[in-house]
Amino acid sequence: MNYISTRGQMAPMGFQDAVMTGLAPDGGLLLPETLPNVSDQLDRWKDLSYTELAYELMRLFATDIPAEELRQLINDSYATFEHPEVVPSVKVGDLYILELFHGPTLAFKDVALQFLGNLFAYILERRGGKLNILGATSGDTGSAAIHGVRGKPNINIFVMHPAGRTSPLQEKQMTSVLDPNVFNLAVDGTFDDCQSIMKTTFADVPFKTEHSLGSVNSVNWARVLAQTVYYFYSAFRVMKETGAESVQFSVPTGNFGDILAGYLAQRMGLPIRKLILATNENDILSRFFNSGVYGKADVVPTISPSMDIQVASNFERYLYYLVGQDAARLSSMMSGFAELGELAVELNADGQVDDLFAAGRGDTENTLAVIKRYHAEHGYVLDPHTAVGVFVAEELASSDAPTICLATAHPAKFTQAIVDAIGEEVHHPTLDALADAPTRCDSIENDVDAVKQYLVKHI
């Protein structure tokens, strides 16, 4: 399987090269040349364990890794999860909650980043050389990435987060990792600023090459690939339990990476009836799917900080398919968006951007109300991001297929929001152990050159 850029100005490359490249040299995002149709494999796969299913899916894309070595990478990656199913689906009221928070940092990012960290180490061991990872986080990616590569030889990781705009526990999870290969940078700005610095730095190809920069953000194809697995796994489990022939997923999203994985799973043949896209007040994505216009606005701080994003880094991959895989047209659209902060697409005959998607928004008041109601009625505590997904699912889900809501983080990571909603704290021993942990973090100005100088100094 070879990989190409959404912008069409790059020669195809293999899976391992795609993993190490991250952002394409032409500024685009990497995608497989073709998506396999796995419809004829679904019956064979439906009863597999999570790691067995991950192997069957990933081997279609990681064709330059020997089978048994890929299997070992997968087994090692998910041995760190505390639940035997890795990602269980739990019936709560009329919905199923897909719990993606049983990994080391209690967030869905662990599903991809435990695998990606091991993948980086595997490739470097065989090829030699070093890797300097530059990442940007709105909350959970940073800690999951750090825990995926901490202490690994020949790898340094530099993670930018918006100063004061992550939850205190999200920040503590990052800054309390004191391994010498870990560097945390608090940027005076928003997550979009951090993401812009990262993309601008990667676009400087000579600098990227000289300093062996790589990416763990969802621009890295391996992350999206790893996330497609839990759509298949959960759909199989829920369809078996309910006897349904299809499912629908509700996905709280800011960067479009998580829901993109579901979109690709559907294109590969998984019977997904509807993808319900849920945003908070930072609603650029829900506005797009309801109007056809993708336009930037100011970032609004909310109680679901991982979704406080206005420029979704994975959206370009979806647009590539939406415009019929026309790289030239896509490049023109993205250039226009970079200049004007807006792009638009035509609606279809049904007045929709895409009939597969339904999109809505849950604000802070809605989020707190949902957390309170699910705790009172079902004894189940939702984190604020998951609650946004549940709120929008209750508004938009159809009744003709089971609804699976992605639970993207453990509620104990968002103490104040949970207290505000239910009047009491939720705890987790992993987080409680951080209370008195020492931290290390450097403050840095919101400036590309400042970040580059920091990288050069510390590499």
Q: E strand or H helix at 160, and its extent?
A: strand 155-162
Characterize the bridge pairing of strands 155-162 and 131-136.
parallel
Q: Long-range contacts of range 362-367, CB-CB < 8 Å, 24 or more positions apart?
A: 362/278, 362/279, 362/280, 362/387, 362/388, 362/389, 362/391, 362/392, 363/280, 363/281, 363/302, 364/280, 364/281, 364/302, 364/303, 366/391, 367/280, 367/303, 367/304, 367/391, 367/417, 367/421
| CA-to-CA dists, residue 209 to 130, 205, 219, 221, 292, angstroms | 11, 6, 17, 19, 37
Which amino acid is residue 94, in one-letter code?
D
Q: E strand or H helix at 122, and its extent?
A: helix 109-127
Q: How far apart are CA 133 and CA 149, in angstroms?
A: 10
User: Is 432 exposed, middle or buried, given 0-12, 13-18 or 19+ CB atoms closer than 10 A?
Assistant: exposed
Going by the DSSP 8-state scheme, the letter that residue 254 receives in this structure is S
Per the listing, tokens 């902060």 go with 341
Candidates 184, 182, 145; CA nearest to 162 is 184
- Is 109 designated active site? yes
Q: How far apart are CA 34 and CA 57, in angstroms?
A: 14
Residues β-bridged to residue 184: 159
45 in Cβ contact with 53 (< 8 Å)? yes
Reduce the DSSP state of residue 371 to 3 states and report it: helix
| CA-to-CA dists, residue 442 to 163, 175, 186, 212, 445, angstroms | 10, 10, 6, 22, 10
Residue 193 CA neighbour count, 13 Å, CB half: 19
Q: How far apart are CA 104 and CA 233, in angstroms?
A: 20
Please pick, among 91, 109, 152, 172, the residue that the annotation labels catalytic.
Answer: 109
Per the listing, tokens 């079902």 go with 378
Pair of tokens at residue 348: 């279809």
Positions marked catalytic: 109
